[in-house]
Amino acid sequence: MSGLRIARNELRRLSTGVLPKLALAAMVLVPLLYASFYLYANYDPYGRLDKLPAAIVTTDAGATDSSGARRDIGREVTDEVLGSGTFQWHEVSEEEAQAGVRDDRYSFAITIPRDFSAALLSSGDFRPQQATMTLTTNDANNYLSGTIADQVAEQVRGTIAKKVGTEAADKFLVGFSTIYANIGQASDGATTLADGAGKLQSGQQELADGAKQLAGGGTELASGLTTLRERTTALPDQSRQLADGASQVAEGNTRLAEAGSLLASASTGLQGDLDAARDRITQRLRDAGLPEAEVQATIAVLEDARKPVNDANGKIQETSGQLDTLADGARRVSDGAAQLAGSAPALTGGIAKASDGANQLRDGAARLDEGEQQAVGGTNELASGSAQLRDGLRDGLAQIPNPDDPTRDATASTIADPVSVNSVGVASAGTYGAGLAPFFMALATWIGAFVLFLLLRPLSTRSLAAGASPLRVAVGGWLASAALGVAQVVVLFGAVTWLVGIRVAHPLGAIGFLVLTSLAFTAIMHALNAMFGAVGKFLGLVLLVLQLVSAGGTFPWQTIPDALYPLHLVLPMGYVIDGLRHLLYTGASLSILGDVAVLLAYLAGGLLVSTLAARKRRMWTVSQLKPELSL
């Protein structure tokens, strides 16, 4: 008897009568009822979050920011949340929100406290406080509601942080602009200072040179005045002697001038007498009757004889005037010498004081020269420092950002939200239901294979009794379940794709992979039932539980406990889920060949175990005959 005939006989046995046919149809629809209804119910729960009631409470009193403007950030956040439409938001009092979360009227509640704005704006006054929102959840309502609430609160917190961060960064950048302007003024001032310091350096050097010259001149002056002081020590006595001698000379000159005056008077009288004698002689000669020519000749002789007298008179008169002048000069010299003698002590005293002052001037000039040398060093340092200050301010000014308004706004936004996530999906499920589809389709296929053997007999007793080969008996027993399993996955795939609406990237590959999965799972369940009988059904249920916890259908399998890792690597459902994910989404790769190889191995292994069970069943026992006899 061939395997196909054995399978046909088994299916004919199950389809005889109305109730068996209904039972057969029910077995075909079991995976559909399990997977499709669950996926339909959870197709896109995130798209219906606006049906989820949530409460928001605002008691924010507002605050004044650093610019003096009044802000109520809590109110701004509340209005934004209420208008978002993400949930069925209700703005209520704090007491009502607490009671609503406790009584399951609200899934969660967000409370914005009274000091919310004050805390957010506190950084502007350098008295930073962390603002706090209160998230109230109740896992007794729904655990996932709390998880969703955590995500919502984090998004609200991120939005507020971005908003406040943008404003803070904008003020920060405005401060940079102010610093830039002030540093620019400081740089200009430093440039002026450096220029002035350079001029001061030149002038200070000239002053230092002058101080050095002054010190040298002061030394020479002090030396000369010391010599003058030494040489004028005897000046009072000498000037007194000079005054006395000048007085004597003046007296002598006076007497001499008086004698000269007498002599001049006598000479003048002599001239008068000679003139009178000439006139008398002239008259007498005329009276004597001499001719006029002789008279004139005689007078001429007399004039010639008188000439020495006239010359002597002129010299006497001239000498007398000079003697008078000499006497006057001698008197003035005497008076000057007397004044010099009177002033000589004061002069020598002044020279002494001048000498002392010159010594002080010399010492002061030396100290001035030393101080100027130090001042030159300080001025050089000032010039160097001011130049460094100027250059440093210029370099610093070039490094201080001074963006224009659009750039500042863009920069502030970037600082507040520096990273944006550009999600590039190699494969995208699209919806929550589509994300769970591989797991529940694999699970439904296993359950479908499990329920088939509630009615199907794994091995045909008649064929075994007729002496059919164990392989034919095993394949014939499996083919009936395989045919029903293929019908199960075809109906399941159609419902999931057409009714639920889950988009499949590779339909032919997916249906083919599901058919292979059903063949492998039915082979496994067939082997368990063939080898262990009723116990095999229990083992199939145990394997179902083990695969539920190790397949990684909801969370990545790497997150399961380490002790379950071997189960994931050995049991087939994890490979089915992996293959379906590649085929349902858009990221199919050659790694699916490994999943196909594992299922083929399980298929071959299941048939091998079923063949061994058939070989074993060829030896009849009384316990095996009782069920057959009852039939």
Instruction: Check whether 576 has a pLDDT greater than 90.
Output: yes
What's residue 321's pLDDT?
Answer: 74
CB 120 within 8 A of CB 62: no
Q: Is 275 exposed, middle or buried (0-12, 13-18, 19+ CB in 10 A)?
A: exposed
To the nearest whole percent, how much of the chain has pLDDT over 70?
71
**pLDDT tens track for 315-346:** 777 776 776 776 677 677 667 667 766 766 77
What's residue 630's pLDDT?
Answer: 41
> 493: closest CA among 485, 315, 426, 291?
485
Instruction: Check whether 199 has a pLDDT greater than 50.
Output: yes
CB 390 within 8 A of CB 186: no
What's residue 525's pLDDT?
Answer: 93
Query: How many other β-carbons are positioned within 10 Å of the β-carbon of residue 196?
Result: 13
Average pLDDT value for residue range 386-391? 78
Q: Provide the strand spans (E) within 241-281.
A: none
Tokens representing residue 168 in the block? 């803070």
Residues 6 or more apart in contact with residue 568 via CB below 8 angstroms? 550, 551, 552, 557, 560, 574
18-31 and 3-14 are packed helices; what angle lies between their axes, rounded to 10 degrees? Answer: 110
Residues 6 or more apart in contact with residue 386 via CB below 8 angstroms? 190, 193, 194, 196, 197
CA distance 14 to 487: 15
Q: Provide the 3-class DSSP secondary structure of residue 454.
A: coil
Query: How many other β-carbons are positioned within 10 Å of the β-carbon of residue 532?
Result: 16
Helix (H) or strand (E) holding 513: helix 507-532
Size (the chain), residues: 631
Instruction: Check whether 560 has a pLDDT greater than 60.
Output: yes
CA distance 350 to 405: 80
CA distance 385 to 125: 36
Tokens representing residue 478 in the block? 């499996």
- Report the half-sphere exposure of 435 (CA within 13 A, side-chain side): 12
Domains, the chain: 3-44+431-625 (no CATH), 215-399 (1.10.287.950)
Tokens representing residue 101 in the block? 């979360």
Average pLDDT value for residue range 381-403? 74
**pLDDT tens track for 68-116:** 778 888 888 888 888 888 888 899 998 998 999 888 889 889 998 888 8
**Residues of 220-256 as b/e, b for ≥16 C-beta within 10 angstroms?**
ebbeebbebbeebeebbeebbebbeebbebbeebbeb
pLDDT confidence tier of residue 278, bands split at 50, 70 and 90:
confident
> 549: closest CA among 571, 522, 527?
571
pLDDT confidence tier of residue 37, bands split at 50, 70 and 90:
low
Q: What is the DSSP letter of 114?
A: T
CA distance 212 to 365: 8
Phi and psi, residue 54, nearest 5°: -145, 150
CB 463 within 8 A of CB 472: yes
Evaluated on CA atoms 524, 530, 533, 535, the torsion sign reads negative
Instruction: Check whether 592 has a pLDDT greater than 70.
Output: yes
**pLDDT tens track for 339-388:** 766 766 776 777 777 777 767 777 777 777 777 777 777 777 777 877 78
CB 594 within 8 A of CB 566: no
CA distance 13 to 18: 12
CB 563 within 8 A of CB 537: no
